[in-house]
Structure 1
Amino acid sequence: MFLLCLALGVAAIAGVGSLARGLTEGLAREGRTILGGDAAFSLTPNEATPAARATLDAKGRVSEVATLRSMARAASGDAALVELKAVDGAWPLVGAATLDPALSLGDALAEKDGVWGAVADPALLARLDLKLGDRFRIGSLQFEARARLTAEPDRLSEGVGFGPRVVIGEAALRASGLVQPGSLVKWTYRLVLPDGARGDAAVADTIAAVEREAPDSAFDARSRLNAAPQLERNVGRFTQFLTIIGLAALVVGGVGVANAVSAFVDRKRETIAVLKSLGASGGTVFLIHLAQVAALGALGIAVGLVVGASLPFVAIAALKDVVPLPLAPSIYPRELGLAAAYGALAALAFAFWPLGRAHDVPVAALFREHVAPERRLPRFGYIAATAALAAGLAGLAVFAAYDRRIATIFVGATLATFVALRLVAWAIMKLAARAPRPRRTELRLALANVHRPGALTPSVVLSLGLGLVLMVTLTLIDSSIRQQLSNELPARAPSFFFLDIPRADREAFAGLIRSKAPEAKLESVPMLRGSFVSIKGAPPDEASINPESRWALKGDRGVTFADAVPEGSRVVEGEWWTPDYAGAPLVSFDRKLGKALGLSIGDEIGVNVLGRTITAKVANFREIAWETIGINFFMVFSPNTFAGAPYMNLATVTFPGGGGDAQEFALMRDATKAFPSITAIRVKDALTSISAVVGNLAIAIRVASGVTLVASVLVLAGALAAGHRRRVYEAVILKTLGATRKRLLAAFAAEYALLGAITAVFGLAVGSVAAWGVTVGIMGIDFAFDPVGAGIAALGALALTIALGLVGTWRVLGEKPARHLRSM
């Protein structure tokens, strides 16, 4: 049990760390292919100016790519949201696009007989029931589906989309009517440096030179070293979560280590007595047995490291055709060393206490411990060493974490759970000792077993409680997320988001919606894109900002203007401007983000919008109800800020009570047919895509948390095995006094049922509180209690306790009294 508990936790941490490192290394190794060049410079929604483009052209070979969301419509009238990608003749600069059939990209995208070609994700062809050679419409143009897109070299760098990919030529995009002032088009310029100037330093120098020579371009620059930053951040966060689950398994296994060491010391009682009677000091006895435990611990850690190190190799063999991620399996000493350190600290922290208790126990007490067990605390030195090792384990967990705040919360919650479980065990024993004695012999014996010296109560409650708390927490978090996605959000969210509504078509679009869906609610606001240029007069990179909020300063953000407070917002600090305000530009900020950026009322921010830098003063802070998924923006400017500027409109359409599929699809067909440049995002489809991602993550989390459950089972079995010797002694005495096997079995079953039931109730309560804290406090969503899922976990824990207890008890009851009586 010692080996299994330690190896399992170390293997989980080593495996997760090695897998994440392999993915990070793969991203770095394939960074040039993933990014599509040595560097990439992005703009939204405007193209680079001729001067900025000339600056890029002077540095090396450049390819221009435009990405946006649009609608693809088949001749049947069916429509689907697509991730549209328009490429020039130089794309791809690195890697290759794979088409089926194997055409050249130029032939696949060329204009033939007045019709442009397109290559599409097979999912789009299936969704619109199209075959190769069929035509479909995007914007104002018809396209012919000439090939299936089976591989795209730079797909990972562009993030996750809501629809299937369609690739067209850049000239076709410009002829489609989709590119208008304010359209949400992202223009990316991939750059390949000349041969001999592609080192990491050369790439960094090139990016710095472009920013210096084209200071007003507002480029969002990336190098091949951070080709997919969003993916890397998500990998880091998910790795931390899985590592925390691995640590939980290791901590649960630590209880098993303590139980195993206690059983080891118990079995060595006669040896220790002989050593002490021959003059061995308590310190010598401690070191002898510590050396044995350390040797066994080293073996367990080694087994865990071997299993963990092999995980990336197993993963790439099993998932290479399922998950197209650039995994680079290898042996990673840092990750394995970290896992070994976790294992060593956990093993020593949980072993010192039971080993230390043997130091001062007198020889006579060791011989008579069967009938007069003596329980005392170890010496202060052992207590201090245990505390120092536990603090080292906690410090390592925080120091090595991706997000130290989350790791600190985990450490605090683990410590609190340990203390709470120990108090629960103490309370159970005290209550059992003071409870009235039942008349039935079996129940009286079960109650006595709960509180007697050497009772299994603390071990069972600790080993079962930790695993159960984690399982209930994860189950309820999962159910809350699913409740939010499947019930609450669809009920409150709009039915559609309509993007890129031209300013000139706003009234015509509103008239169409009123005529086709008179019962629906239409909301429309202007929408522009802007990037931060300055915060309180300083460049964003120099501003003192919480690292967790720096995401807001990267790339472009949606901005709008309004003369009244937007619906779903309320001003909580400062004053809103008057409808006829005509002074210097003002801006309203989301309170949470504004405070995170260090802003106060009256501070100034600089935002680049449509190539022009707007300097605006913070007039007020708003509290925004983001959970409604309605139209709202972090930044809302006073209307005079953008007087005369070209912009698009963003609109939402909400059917009262939620629309039916037929009703929504009909409106989407009518709207996109009448206004080909408009993009319709059906919220139900978006939520379905998100639910699929969440479902896949939930599966991965359940598999990982299963490691903790296995550790709990091992620890519980180890706790019962640790008490085997004492149970044999008791069973022999009771059978000698006339107890039948049936009565002893009933007594032990009642004891395990009582311990399992109380622990299950505790795990259910604490797990529910933990899940509530995560969902409400961290995720910001409503908590949904799932009685079925939580109940299954609790009942499973109860059944597991009884089953394992009775399996061990059956062996005890099979012992022959005579053999044991002769040795007493």
Structure 2
Amino acid sequence: MASLSYQSAAKIAWREMHASRGKFFFVIMSVAIGVAALTGVRGFSSSFRATLLTRARSILAADLSARATRQPTPGELAGLAQIEASGVQVTPVTEMMSMASSPAAMDPLLVSLKAVDPARFPFYGTVDLDPADSLSDVLKPDTVVVGEDLLLRLHLKRGDGLKVGNAVYKIAGTVLNEPDRLSSNFSAGPRVLMSREALDASGLLAPGSHAGQRFLFRMPQTGLRGTVNDAGVADLKEKLEKLLPEAQVTDYRETNPALTEGLDRATSLLSLMSLVALVLGAIGVAMAMRAHLQQRLDTIAIMKSLGARSGQVIKIYLMQTLLLGVLGGLLGVALGVAVQLVLPLLLAKLINVVPDLHIDARSVLTGLGAGVLTTLLFTLPPLLDIRNVRPILILRRAMDEGSDDPFVTAILKKITTNYAQIGAAVLILGGLAAIAATLSDSATVGKWFTIGLVVVLVVLLAASAGVLAGLRWFLNRTRLNLPSSLRHGLANLYRPGNPSAALLAALGMGVMQITTVYLVQQAVVTELHVASAPNLPNVFLVDMTNEEIGGIRGILKAQPGVTREPELLPVVSSRVVELDGRPAAEAKLTNFPKRMLQSVSLSWSVTGALPEGTKVVSGAWWTEEQAKGADKAPLVAIGERQAQRLGLKVGSTITFAAQDSKFTAKVAAVVRSDGQHAFGRAEFLLPQASLAALPTVWYGGVHVDPALVGQLQRTLYTAYPTVTVINVAAALETVRAVVIQITYVIQFLAAFSIFAGIIILASSIAGTRYRRIREVVVLKTLGATRGRIAAIFSIEFAVLGLVAGLVGVTFANLIANRVLHSLNIIYRPLIGTSLSAVLLIGCLTVATGWVASHRILGQKPLEVLREE
């Protein structure tokens, strides 16, 4: 035969595909589902994550924030001006305590003053006002907007005057919600929001004043979607930490731990699901294409008998594989884009986030390339086997050309005698590593993913072979005592030519991946629901005395709208005089002004146990015996960020000075708070015995129905007028809504990946259809009825499903345990779910097997025998 061009090979391949297009349905679907997962999931998750990060920025009202306790020096102002000249938007926010009064009553009230530039503030989010209006239209040099509690306490209304400092301002409205309320100073007193011109006119901002200063920064937006480069945010943060050494620099990822942890975990899970879809698609392609080539053995043998060389035949089926990969890839891209565009409509009633959707060319090209590449890679071994097809096959035919060796033995023999297959295996692993590295943006992840995949496949093959050997041993000893249909169905699993071990490994891999995704997403969603629980404190109480605590507890218990016990935090004011035996003035601190050590808050856990919402990062919480002896050997637990700033670790010592007493405490634990409980504000936690003799002021948090917060404020003000009530209900509801929206998206994407797995499992079972046709013909020729054949196949399908389910679910739990451990999430074995999954996989395998094979029962023996 003359040389065969790629164009001629493509024509032959296309004609064969067109004539047998029904046979390629599962092949194309396997590729399409994998590509759809990559393009749809990655594209939508990218858009959704960008939208969520915008919400995260709104909690800070900026991309970055630099907080200081003093006004900037001329040198620092010059540095900030250079940053602004580079394209970064900068706006200052001044926060301070002041006295305010009504010009008529003149009874002063301590207020929390906040001065902003209304033309720029906030960079993200909005300030909600009553009446509804924009901040820039309301805030003028002679107006302010105030919290509703200020009107209540001073008996004022909108339009009245408010005296602050040396000036009187008109109250233009009330503040309902500030986007950065959670990231502002934890201040006492009702809110008064004014423009910077109004602050200058008040005379309060004198040299040396103790006003807190925050600088908000907004990075230049890039691209068509107006995204922000995270690397640029990190670079700016590093530059600000050098420019403002005494400022606390925070970026939008640190504004709320629960939200940012949810985003990070969601991102990790989305990456996992993309890799899962890729592997499942590759397995489905390999199984289905191998079955297709086995059906074409006659055609290949005829072409060789007519003079075609192996290379020419391989070229035809290589082009066919490429065409299948491209068709499946294009269909997958269309499905993926449809998922990305339709998903917001499907979730419209569940989430109120509308992502800035677009067709991400990178996701499309990545998905298409991955689909075509995996198709080519995983069909290399069967394509190379074409070289071993002998023309004599058309004259002397067998149901199977392989030996009767066990599957694993046959695989090992094949590997050790066929160097081309070794090269193909290396190429497959290298290609998978490259794809995994591209999807995860990490060569390390790609390497370990590939190594893990090989280990899992080898273990699954070994486990499958072991199970089959056990079934054979069982059958040999009970053969005469079993019903014939059951005996025949079990024997089918290890008949010559039946790739049961390979099929079990493929099914087990699919089951393992699907179950792993389900277990991980359940754990992540459970964790997120805990972080977004609807009864976390959303109203904070400030400046309560020991004498008032009992009465306040009674009011909160009787007040309608309070959904749970309040979290009350005792605070003792102190200062740090030594760190690890070195005077505080000589300590080396990280981005923390030394003067802040002159005013720190000490507290103790009211219950004596680790406070809710707090977990130990290193060290250990003290025992009851240690707490009782804390007056003689004081212990302290310190927040993780505070420990980093002060350079402390477990075993370090801190010397505190409070009132006339001075004591040294040993760091017993470093803790991390979720930021949503009152104890998240405690800098240092000690046993109560260490602080028993020191004066205490109480702070608290309680969850109240947002609609009834005003009623609680009025009740508390009537009974305890000196207690300040700070309402952050609206801000926390925003955070909670965002976290819940993440859980819905994770659940949907997990369901999408599970659906992809089911389709690909079906393709794996459908790949055995060719062998089953011949078996049906033989059985019918020998007199078997349809019912008997159906019973035999059903038993075989059920055993395959149950064994694959058992093996896959077992490994899924092991892998989920490791994945969740790496995400710092508690692994809880779902025994009932795992057992149900095994039974469900058994039923699903039987159903899928018959969907793919039901037509073979009607196959007439003569039709097949004529083709022989």
TM-score (norm 1): 0.68
Find out whether 1:302 has 2:330 as its counterpart. Answer: yes
Q: CA 1:772–1:457 in structure 2 vs 1: closer, same or farther (change >3 Å)?
A: same
3-state secondary structure, aligned to 1:525: strand
Of residues 789, 808, 817, the one that matches 2:852 is 808
Q: Hey, what's the Cα distance between the residues in 2 that align with 1:680 and 1:93?
A: 19
Q: Distance in 2 between matches of 1:453 and 1:482?
A: 46
The alignment partner of 2:401 has SS state of coil
Residue 699 of structure 1 corresponds to which residue in structure 2? Answer: 744
Q: CA deviation at 1:293?
A: 1.1
CA deviation vs aligned residue, 1:574-593 (integer Å, no higher than 9, x gap): 999996999xxx98657999
Q: Does 1:332 align with 2:361?
A: yes
> Could you tell me which residue of structure 2 aligns to residue 122 of structure 1?
none
Deviation at 1:367, TM superposition (A): 5.9
Partner of 1:799: 843
Q: 1:403 to 1:36 in 2, by over 3 A?
A: same
Distance in 2 between residues matched to 1:810 and 1:692, nearest whole Å: 48
Counterpart in the other structure of 1:761? 806
CA distance, structure 2, for counterparts of residue 202 and residue 767 of structure 1: 39
- Residue 755 of structure 2 corresponds to 710
**Would you say the 8 A contact 1:365–1:372 is kept in 2?**
no
Q: Give me the whole-angstrom Cα distance separating, in 2, the residues matched to 1:274 and 1:536.
A: 86
Shift of 1:409: 6.5
Q: Does 1:729 pair with 2:774?
A: yes
1:677 equivalent among 702, 705, 724: 724
In structure 2, distance between residues paired with 1:340 and 1:411: 20
Within 5 Å, give how 1:512-531 maps onto structure 2. Answer: 512-513=551-552, 523-526=569-572
Query: What residue in structure 1 maps to residue 419 of structure 2?
Result: 380
Indicate the residue corresponding to 1:622 in structure 2: 669
**Closer, same or farther in 2 for the Cα pair 1:419/1:671, shift >3 Å?**
farther
| 1:18 partnered with 2:43 | yes
Do the aligned partners of 1:450 and 1:457 also contact (CA within 8 Å) in 2? yes
SS at match of 1:779: coil
SS in 1 for 2:669: strand
Mapped to 1, the partners of 2:277 and 2:585 lie a distance apart of: 46
Verify the 8 A CA contact 2:603 2:682 in the aligned structure 1: no
Match of 2:291? Answer: 263
* Cα distance in structure 1, aligned partners of 2:354 and 2:266: 15
Of 413, 422, 436 in structure 1, the residue corresponding to residue 461 of structure 2 is: 422
Residues 732 and 315 of structure 1: is their aligned pair in 2 closer, same or farther, counting only changes over 3 Å?
closer
- Partner-residue secondary structure (3-state), 1:755: helix
User: Per the alignment, do residues 325 and 484 of structure 1 end up closer, same or farther by CA in structure 2, a change over 3 Å counting?
Assistant: closer
Is the 2:300–2:389 contact (alpha carbons within 8 Å) kept by the matching residues of 1? no
Is the contact made by 1:589 and 1:620 (CA closer than 8 Å) also made in structure 2?
A: yes
What code does the residue aligned with 1:796 have? L
Q: CA deviation at 1:745?
A: 0.9
Shift of 1:483: 6.3
Question: Is the Cα contact below 8 Å between 2:66 and 2:240 reproduced in 1?
Answer: no
For 1:670 and 1:7, locate their aligned partners in 2 and report how far apart those are by CA, in whole Å.
63
Shift of 1:269: 0.4
Q: SS at the partner of 2:278? A: helix
The 8 Å contact of residues 276 and 753 in structure 2, kept in 1 or not, is answered as yes
Alpha carbons of structure 1 residues 517 and 300: separation in structure 2 relative to 1, 3 Å: closer
Contact 1:109 1:118 in 2 (8 A): no
Note the C-alpha offset of 1:270. 1.1
The 1-side partners of 2:291 and 2:145 are apart by 74
What is aligned with 2:215? 189
1:559/1:633 contact within 8 Å kept: no
What displacement does 1:598 show? 9.2
CA contact 2:291–2:767 (8 Å) conserved in 1:
yes
CA distance in 2, matches of 1:692, 1:206: 30
Kindly tell me: are residues 629 and 202 of structure 1, through their superposed partners in 2, closer, same or farther at Cα, counting changes over 3 Å? closer
Q: What SS class does the counterpart of residue 622 from structure 1 fall into?
A: strand
Q: In 2 relative to 1, CA 160–447 (structure 1 residues): closer, same or farther, beyond 3 Å? A: farther
- Structure 2: how far apart are the matches of 1:147 and 1:795? 63
- How many residue pairs get aligned? The number is 728
In structure 2, runs of 5+ residues without a counterpart are: 1-25, 97-111, 159-170, 200-204, 221-227, 404-409, 558-564, 611-615, 655-663
Residue in 2 that maps onto 1:397:
436
Corresponding residue of 1:292? 320
CA contact (8 A) 1:63 1:92 kept: yes
CA shift, 1:17, in A, is 3.2
Q: Secondary structure at the match of 1:358?
A: helix
Q: Conserved in 2, the CA contact under 8 Å of 1:459 and 1:716?
A: no
Quote the Cα distance in structure 1 between the aligned partners of 2:376 and 2:469. 30
For residues 231-266 of structure 1, give each alpha carbon's deviation from its aligned partner in whole angstroms, at most 9, with x where no partner exists.
Answer: 899666534422321221221121111112112211
Amino acid at match of 1:464: L
CA offsets per residue over residues 385-421 of structure 1, 9 Å max, x none? Answer: 2233223313442464267777776555544443333
Q: Partners in 2 of 1:359 and 1:400 — Cα distance?
A: 35
Cα–Cα, structure 1 residues 10 and 536, in superposed 2: closer, same or farther, change >3 Å? farther
Residue 793 of structure 1 deviates from its aligned partner by 3.5
Alignment of 1:733-748 (within 5 A): 733-748=778-793
Does 2:27 correspond to 1:2? yes
The AA in structure 2 aligned to 1:264 is H
Question: 1:209 Cα deviation (Å)?
Answer: 8.9
Shift of 1:741: 0.8
What secondary structure sits across from 2:388 in the alignment?
coil
Shift of 1:507: 2.5
SS of 1:738 mapped into structure 2? coil
For residues 289 and 816 of structure 1, the distance between their equivalents in structure 2, rounded to whole angstroms, comes to 30
Residue 515 of structure 2 is aligned with which of 472, 488, 494?
Answer: 472
Which residue in 1 is equivalent to 2:542? Answer: 501
CA contact (8 A) 2:61 2:180 kept: no
Q: 1:749 to 1:347 in 2, by over 3 A?
A: same
Displacement of 1:659? 13
Query: What TM-score do the two structures reach when normalised by structure 2?
Result: 0.65
The equivalent residue for 2:10 is none
Give the match's secondary structure for 2:402.
coil
What pairs with 1:551-630 in structure 2 (closer than 5 Å)? 560-561=601-602, 568=610, 620=667, 622=669, 624=671
C-alpha change, 1:278 and 1:593, in structure 2 (3 Å) is: farther
With over 3 angstroms needed to count, the CA separation of the structure-2 counterparts of 1:597 and 1:348, relative to structure 1, is farther
One-letter code aligned to 1:818: L
* Structure-1 separation of matches of 2:530 and 2:367: 41
Q: CA 1:589–1:205 in structure 2 vs 1: closer, same or farther (change >3 Å)? A: closer
Cα deviation digits, residues 488-529 of structure 1 (max 9, x gap): 999xx9986985634xx4424434356668999965235899
Structure 2: distance between partners of 1:239 and 1:390: 25
The alpha-carbon deviation at position 735 of structure 1 amounts to 0.9
Letter paired with 1:4: M
Range 730-739 or range 299-308, more displaced: 299-308
* Larger displacement relative to structure 2 (704-713 or 618-627): 618-627
Q: Report the Cα offset of residue 687 of structure 1.
A: 11
2:249 alignment partner in structure 1? 220
Q: Distance in 2 between matches of 1:407 and 1:43?
A: 40
Equivalence for 1:442: 485
The letter for the 1-side match of 2:571 is: V
Q: Letter of the aligned partner of 1:358 in structure 2?
A: I
Distance 1:704 1:404, change over 3 A: farther
Q: Percent identity?
A: 24
Is the CA contact 2:285–2:375 (under 8 Å) kept in the aligned structure 1?
yes
Contact 1:728 1:815 in 2 (8 A): yes
Secondary structure of the equivalent of 2:862? helix
**Would you say 1:274 and 2:302 are equivalent positions?**
yes
Q: In structure 2, give the amino acid aligned to 1:170.
A: M
Distance 1:167 1:309 in 2: 47
Give 5+ residue unaligned stretches, structure 1.
Answer: 69-82, 120-133, 542-554, 606-616
Aligned to 1:359, the other structure's residue is in SS state: helix
Amino acid across the alignment from 2:320:
Q
- Select which of 452, 465, 470 maps to 2:495: 452
User: What residue is the counterpart of 2:562 in the other structure?
Assistant: none
